[in-house]
Amino acid sequence: MEITATAVKDLREKTGAGMMDCKKALSETQGDFEKAVIWLREKGMSQVAKRSGRSANQGIIGSYVHSGKVGVLVEVNCETDFVAKTDDFQTLAKELAMQVAASSPKYVNREEVPAAELEQEKAIYLNEAKQSGKPEAVQQKIAEGKIESYYKQVCLMEQPYIREAKKSVKQYVTEVAAKVGENVVVRRFSRLQLGE
């Protein structure tokens, strides 16, 4: 069954969930709008999106040191001190610090990637695509695909989660936010490596 953009848009407006989550919900429920709403609620997606606008100025700084050679600090925010003290939230901060240690991202999310850096990468990928001799439209698609891969390398929230590669870090954070019932924001991180 084909899922229309209008159906996805309507579901997003009703639930406040992300576009991709809405599309997946409709796919999982064979296009049944009401079942898709229930599916999203069961997954906690609709409430997470609604909470994303709320202020998150509490939280903790998670840390991880690997073999005395790599150290990471990561600031994760939530709405209340109560949630910041829960095991789920503490585990999230620790897991994110381990993710940063293992995967060496440069930015928290794609919005932080400087435009100049992005343009430079795109120029490299377009040049590589031109070498293929394929039509220009195909070259553009190749370059766009490589930019998406670049985001998955340099942006923490885009990376595959180290404990479950089919899931992104963003999906993991969303799941924890749904579980704790508050807006959860990964604010920043710092990674130190011996000798760098």
The residue among 19 and 128 whose pLDDT is bigger is 128
Measured CA to CA, the distance from residue 119 to residue 152 in angstroms comes to: 16
Query: For the chain, which residues make up each domain, given as ranges?
Result: 5-51, 58-108+155-193, 114-154
Name the pTM for this structure: 0.70
Q: Tell me the pLDDT tens digit for each residue of 64-115.
A: 999 999 999 999 999 888 999 999 999 999 999 999 999 999 999 999 999 9
Picking from 112, 111, 108, 114, the residue whose alpha carbon sits closest to that of residue 185 is 108
Q: Does the 5-51 domain belong in CATH 3.20.20.10?
A: no
φ, ψ at 52 (rounded to 5°): -60, -20
User: What does CATH list as the number for 114-154?
Assistant: 1.10.286.20
| Amino acid 12: pLDDT | 72
Measured CA to CA, the distance from residue 72 to residue 157 in angstroms comes to: 16
Which range of 7-16, 51-60, 184-193 scores highest in mean pLDDT? It is 184-193
Q: Which CATH superfamily is domain 58-108+155-193 in?
A: Elongation factor Ts, dimerisation domain (3.30.479.20)
Strands 160-161 and 70-78: unpaired
Query: Has residue 196 got a pLDDT over 90?
Result: no
| Amino acid 164: pLDDT | 92
DSSP per residue over 129-144, as a string?
Answer: HHHTT--HHHHHHHHH
| Amino acid 62: pLDDT | 94
Picking from 57, 23, 71, 98, the residue whose alpha carbon sits closest to that of residue 184 is 57
Residues above pLDDT 70, as percent of the chain: 90
